[in-house]
Amino acid sequence: MKKKPLIGIAGNILIMDGGKFPGMKRTYVNHDYVESIELCGGNAIIIPVKASHDELVRLLELLDGLVLSGGYDIAPDLYGEEPLPQQEFNYPEVDLFYIDLLKIARDLKKPVLGICKGMQAMNVAFGGSLFQDLKVQKEKAFKHSQDALRYQASHKVEIISKTFLSKCFPSEIRVNSFHHQAVKDVAPDFQVAAVALDGVVEAIEYTGDNFMVGVQWHPEMMASFGNKQMQTFFELFIKKCKPEEESK
């Protein structure tokens, strides 16, 4: 049987705020990630939030690729800032888990796709910074927290030529948008791969010796609802994550 690339999805922690188990932590990812990966040629597995670096190395060695999912805000001290009043809930334990995974993936040369917070974590992990809140920090920013169904596109992005994204998409596409934070200073060794028409960075790519791409929108919410462009994007990412036996 031909092996499909095994793609780890970085998990998240959901703290129950009511019901029968208030305060209980649950490990989760939105099922759209699993569906998109499996629809587009991969096998998905969820990586729980954990602090042990050695265990994460061991897990990543087993995987062919990594997807970092969306989630809470990133704690601003991780990029050297004090919190603005607009900073929302953050969970540093999850941030450190993401950052550790990213550095391990880079060292082990495992392809990475960062989505929303996953892209922001990628930028922070390698030395970049974030706008803590677009509304107050970025003049004339469009609405990036859409009030529409999750698979509905709400703004345009321009794709920068000669990037991996330019092999996946035409020069202008429409995307969904569920973020109030965004990349501010792009990390060294990364390049901008897509921008919204208000100048907000919507995708970054690593220029070093590993395949790492981050997008600010949620392609998994669109791909799992049948969006062909976003399915192609997942397919091309998953093609980069060949199982070891096949790539030899």
Nearer to Mn ion, 60 or 119 (CB): 119
The residue whose Cβ lies closest to Mn ion is 177
Residue 202: helix, strand or coil by DSSP? strand
Q: Tell me the closest approach of the beta carbon of residue 54 to Mn ion, in angstroms.
A: 37
Nearer to Mn ion, 110 or 144 (CB): 144
Radius of gyration from C-alpha coordinates of the chain:
17
Q: Catalytic residue at 218?
A: yes
Crossing angle of helices 31-39 and 228-239, in 10° steps, is: 70
Closest CA to 91 of 75, 106, 70, 67: 75
Q: Contact between 184 and Mn ion (CB under 5 A)?
A: no
Pick the stretch among 14-22, 139-147, 206-214, 219-227 that binds Mn ion (CB under 5 A): 139-147
Sole binder of Mn ion in the list 4, 106, 110, 144 (CB under 5 A): 144
Crossing angle of helices 53-62 and 92-108, in 10° steps, is: 50
Instruction: Annotate each residue in 85-124 with x if it binds Mn ion (CB under 5 A) or - if it does not, as one string.
Output: ----------------------------------------
Nearer to Mn ion, 106 or 144 (CB): 144
Q: Pick the catalytic residue: 116, 144, 180, 205?
A: 116
Nearer to Mn ion, 163 or 177 (CB): 177
Where does residue 217 fall: left (phi above 0), alpha (psi -120 to 50 degrees), or beta otherwise? Answer: beta
Pick the stretch among 49-57, 113-121, 173-181, 186-194 that binds Mn ion (CB under 5 A): 173-181
> Which phi and psi (to 5°) does residue 245 adopt?
-60, -35
Q: Catalytic residue at 220?
A: yes
* Cα 226 off chain centre by: 20
Q: Contact between 177 and Mn ion (CB under 5 A)?
A: yes
Q: Catalytic residue at 116?
A: yes
203 burial level (CB within 10 Å; 0-12, 13-18, 19+) = buried
Q: Tell me the closest approach of the beta carbon of residue 86 to Mn ion, in angstroms.
A: 16
Q: Pick the catalytic residue: 144, 179, 180, 218?
A: 218
Q: Tell me how crowded residue 13 is: count the other CB atoms within 10 A of its CB.
A: 16
Give the whole-angstrom CA distance, residue 77 versus residue 83.
8
Q: Tell me the closest approach of the beta carbon of residue 143 to Mn ion, in angstroms.
A: 9
The residues annotated as belonging to the active site are 116, 218, 220
- Site residues, Mn ion (CB under 5 A): 144, 177
